[in-house]
Amino acid sequence: MKKSSRKMNGHSIARSFTATIIASLVLISCHKGDPSNNENAPSSYSSDVLDKWMTMQLRLMRNATGIPNQTLSRHFAYTGIVALESLAPGLPANLNHYRKWNSLSGLPTIEHSVKYYYPANVNAAMAAINRSLFPTASVVDKAAIDSLETALNNDFLTKESQSIIAKSAEFGKAIASKVFSWSEFDGYKNASGSYTPQTGPGFWVPTAPAYAAASTPYWGNNRNVVAGSTINTLPEPPVSYSTEPSSLFYKMVKQVYDVSLTLTDDQKAMAIFWRDVPGVSSPGHWLSITQQAIRQTNSRLDKAALAYALTGAAVNDAVISCWKAKYIYNLVRPITYIRDVMGHGTWISFLGTPPHPEYPSAHSVLSCAAGVILDKLFAINGSFTDHTYDYLGFPPRTYSSFIAIGEEAGQSRLYAGIHYQPSIDAGIIQGKKVANNIFPGTANR
């Protein structure tokens, strides 16, 4: 089992942020009439209800068919937003700074005088949004959604009156309906339109062995879920294309080829651990890490919902930013160059090459965006072990910080044989910029 050698660099900031949030909550609760000034505030509940729905969504992601890996970022983001907004009547005002949903309006009116049982708000909201976002789920999975909602609801009825549970469910369902309607106009329906790749030296072409068409070429045109999240995040152009053995481009590709010939067992394990398909998907991997962080810190319902929403937003908007760059630069993949230019006609990458342009690395962008958010939200004391793929029999991997997890996810793509090192490095920077646009207050790391 590998432990990341990267040092922790954000925990003091994370602790400071957490202390600030707690202090703010205390100060706000002292003000008469504030929604957090009662025993029924979201912070008074465990995050158990949300934990169960995160497990359900991981199941739905794992079983989803016909959905490109990266596009499950939408499901993560919108479900997290629904979870947080279902708690809106009881959230303190200081959290409004982080609820900058792009063009979302018309949410249900908040009535602070109404008593809610907040786990019931979340339960109804999560059931409704998952039904909407996974319309092609199997009959078995749809039944599992119904069963979980009913079981939780029956448990709640032993703790609160039927009228309060019904009112809570009504609010949660209304939130889910409004957020889903908003999601339907984010551009995803147009992301797979007709596309003709650029032609010429150095441009991406479909890759062996499947030679599949470009995946979601217009995903970069999608609306962000957080206003301003992708401002100034586009990476600089990649290394200038050249076929000369003395050129930087040739040397960059040769590194991929040379590494492929000397892969260690740990490098192979790293690549497979971050393959994510088959698995829970790349967005789902970070949903799993978020769930584990919530469990490890025993976070309350409000903190768990905030983490779900902000991490999902970061993953979603990072993918949009990444896809915008991919189809601007349209850079050739290593397998094409290694076979056609370097003359290794039967070379194959350790993992299959995905059907979209190379630059930048999507794993780097989305993973580092998520890692920054989680580092800011959770002060893990020096060690975090990711158990996402225990169910597949993969050894868990241990890290010094969430940012270190994101950086390893990016680095794994070199060992997979599908990305150049500069593309990984550029993606790491891009992802961190997206996260800092979503969650301001600290310098880019």
Q: CA end-to-end span of the chain, whole Å?
A: 26
What are the backbone angles phi and psi of residue 101, rounded to the nearest 5°?
-70, 130
Could you give the domains of the chain? 11-188 (no CATH), 201-438 (1.10.606.20)
Query: pLDDT tens across 120-170, in order?
Result: 999 999 999 999 999 999 999 999 999 999 999 999 999 999 999 999 999
Looking at residue 38, its pLDDT comes to 61
Mean pLDDT of 56-83: 97
Helix intervals (H) in 38-161: 48-63, 72-85, 118-133, 139-156
Cα separation of 244 and 80, whole Å?
Answer: 48
At 238, is the pLDDT very low, low, confident or very high (cuts 50, 70, 90)?
very high
Taking the C-alpha atoms of residue 156 and residue 204, their distance in angstroms, rounded to an integer, is 54
pLDDT at 95: 86
Could you report the per-residue pLDDT of 261-285, keeping only the tens digit for each? 999 999 999 999 999 999 999 999 9
Q: How far apart are CA 251 and CA 261, in angstroms?
A: 15
For residues 413 and 269, give the distance between their C-alpha atoms in angstroms, rounded to a whole number: 12
- Whether pLDDT at 82 is above 60: yes
In this structure, are residues 40 and 115 in contact, taking their beta carbons and an 8 Å threshold? Answer: yes
3-state helix/strand/coil string of 164-177 = HHHHHHHHHHHHHH
Is the Cβ–Cβ distance between 322 and 282 less than 8 Å? no
Q: What is the mean pLDDT of residues 54-81?
A: 97
